[in-house]
Amino acid sequence: MTQVSERLQSVFTTQSAHKWVNKASTAEERIAKLLKLKAVIQAREDDVVKALHADLRKDDEGGRGEAAPIYGEVDQVVAELANWMAPVEADPTPFVESRAKITSESRGIVLLFSPWNYPFALLFQPLVSIIAAGNCAMVKPNELAPHVSKLAAEIINEVFEEKDVAVFEGGVDLANEMLELPIDHIFFTGSPAVGKIVMAAAAKHLASVTLELGGKNPVIVDRTADLQTSAATIAAFRNVNNGQVCLCPENIWVPEEMVDEFMAVVQGTFQAMFYKDGKLNPEANGKIIDERNYQRVKGYIDDAREKGATIVCGGAGDPELRSIHPTIMTNVPADARIMGEETFGPILNVFTYKEVDEAIAHIQQQPKPLALYLFTNDDEFSEMVLSKTSSGGVTVNNCLMHVAVPGMPFGGVNSSGIGAYHGVFGFNELSHQRSVLFM
Ligand code: NAD
């Protein structure tokens, strides 16, 4: 058992009293806090870009792309919060003389842990939902993105009083200290392995959890798909942020007679997007977050190669730049390490099928992924695959896009996550639905 530091304990005590004030706060009061947050992030957007370049070599667009969804979340809260907070009349039957309502009330103190791959967006987007629902928060930015962690702490300290939102910078030891507190709810984005640790810690206090985890996202290319577009899209999204995206396409299933053309288009797209004069372009590729993860991803390729996999392209890495070349592997044996672990690096595993049931059977045997992607021009094909598989979300004829629709919940299922957020779904996730009967 770890020791909880004095500052953690003191903030927890303060927030334990203040959470009742926040619970009773109005939509206007919550919105005022969020508008201040938005204004400070807007004022410091150039610093966001710089910090993300320093930690992950994200370009200007990638940096600003982490701020934009936070603004979108705030704007939606400003427009909708009064409606979301309004009690809902309920049918009191069998007590027909009575009155019944369902109210959304805050959960209390929320512990928030963020991942390092989108370290800014995935800290502040959940925080918007947490505040909108009237909670206090104790926040730990991710230690592997230290420039973003420092900036996020500065922003939080400028915008919020500690009794509302308190930030703590640190690594695993700090995370474990925070998990000792009898918190009301934990919002965790990270790996399934640590997700289990978080859930076990939550069980000690019966805290509720939102777990936004990862997995190996499968893609099925159907015979009716536009091969050129499908292959180019998959290639582009596999190497976003050098493959360090929880929603990246990873295991690609292609009809066997289409696979050569598919791989040729993928390789052409890799060259066009991620190479300059035949050399890996570090600015376009981004950076693997640290040496340990660089060795982990490179290790998947070396291990699969030793066990008989074919490296169709890429396969090498540049340790100085901490980039891995966009890689296609085929014939990967079942005992290769990459088959059982989320890659979180720019490796496409390409499998072929005669009958699509082979791909579906494989997907059914794997832990449920965060996303499934289908490329097809046949609606019956889509519905058939949807009926036989499960995943957090799905995009048909593109990758990742469902995450950008604020009107849909974003989250995983079982090993890829528990709970969902964005917009009203975030508000509901961070609220308790309380049934009230007046007799
Ligand atoms: P991680 O699980 O290693 O770390 C996340 C947080 O947990 C950090 O704050 C870290 O300090 C803490 N932590 C790490 N080890 C711990 C331990 N042993 N005990 C207690 N706390 C610990 O995740 P990561 O490497 O930062 O992020 C990558 C993972 O996040 C991938 O699996 C990816 O798929 C997932 N992810 C999911 C989403 C989503 O929205 N579902 C988004 C981005 C990333």
> Per-residue pLDDT tens for 12-35?
999 999 999 999 999 999 999 999
Between the CA of 188 and the centroid of ligand 1 the distance, in Å, is 8
Average pLDDT on 403-422 reads 97
Q: 165-174, 315-324, 347-356: which has the minimum mean pLDDT? A: 315-324
Contact yes or no for 429/129 (Cβ under 8 A): yes
CA of residue 166 relative to chain centroid, distance: 22
Q: What is the DSSP letter of 369?
A: P
Q: Which residues have a catalytic role annotated?
A: 212, 246
- What is the rounded CA–CA span in Å between residue 134 and residue 331? 52
**Confidence (pLDDT) at 2:** 65
144 CA: nearest ligand 1 atom: 26
The Å distance, Cα 11 to ligand 1 centre, comes to 24
Question: What confidence score (pLDDT) does residue 3 get?
Answer: 66
Give me the residue label for tokens 């009967």.
Answer: 437
- Those residues whose C-beta lies under 8 Å from the C-beta of residue 254, and which sit 6 or more positions away, are 221, 262, 350, 351, 352, 353
Instruction: Tell me the average pLDDT of the chain.
Output: 97
Global pTM reads: 0.96
| pLDDT tens column, 324-336 | 999 999 999 999 9
| Pocket probe mutation, ligand 1, options 111, 112, 117, 125, max atoms within 8 Å of Cβ | 117
In the predicted structure, residue 1 carries a pLDDT above the cut 90: no
Domains of the chain by start residue, with CATH:
6-213+412-438 (3.40.605.10), 218-404 (3.40.309.10)
What dihedral angle (degrees, nearest 10) is formed by the CA atoms of 263, 268, 270, 271? Answer: 140
pLDDT tens column, 79-112: 999 999 999 999 999 999 999 999 999 999 999 9
Q: Which atom of ligand 1 is nearest to the CA of 140?
A: 9
Give residue-wise pLDDT tens across range 274-295: 999 989 998 998 899 999 999 9
φ, ψ for residue 360 (rounded to 5)? -60, -40
| pLDDT per position as a tens digit, 207-221 | 999 999 998 999 999
Output the CA angle 396-397-399, nearest 5 degrees.
80
Residue 4: predicted pLDDT? 73
Q: Which residue has the tokens 């699509």?
A: 356
**Helix, strand or coil, per DSSP, at residue 370:** coil
Q: What percent of the chain is predicted at pLDDT more than 90? A: 97
Of the candidates 141, 153, 71, the residue with the CA atom closest to the CA atom of residue 112: 141
Q: Give me the mean pLDDT over the 381-385 stretch.
A: 98
